[in-house]
Amino acid sequence: MTPPDSPSPTRPPDPALLPKPATFPQVLVAVLWSFFGVRKGQAMARDAVTIKPHHVIIAGVLLAAVLVVSLIVLVQIIIRNA
């Protein structure tokens, strides 16, 4: 009998069964869909397992900066042509 404070013997999970981490383009697509507020439940569940939170933060800040710069450039073009 094993003492109560010893860890129970468990096998490590099979690496083939673990989900592969999301690539940066997959993270960008997930963040872009979240900007629109549209996401399928199955894709969201997959992303919750494969995407790390700091990747979402980096992609969100990057895409938000691209959006702001794009809007500034668009306004400058409109003002210049007015």
Domain membership of residue 74 (yes or no) is: yes
Asked whether the predicted pLDDT for residue 10 surpasses 80, the reply is no
Domain membership of residue 71 (yes or no) is: yes
Domain membership of residue 60 (yes or no) is: yes
Domain membership of residue 50 (yes or no) is: yes
Distance (Å, whole) CA 51 – CA 26: 9
- Environment class of residue 59 by beta-carbon count within 10 Å: exposed (0-12), middle (13-18) or buried (19+)? buried
Q: What is the pLDDT of residues 14-70, one digit of tens each?
A: 666 777 888 899 899 888 888 888 877 888 888 888 999 999 999 999 999 999 999
Domain membership of residue 70 (yes or no) is: yes
Distance (Å, whole) CA 32 – CA 5: 48
Q: How many domains does the chain have?
A: 1
Domain membership of residue 2 (yes or no) is: no
- Its domain, for residue 47, covers 24-81
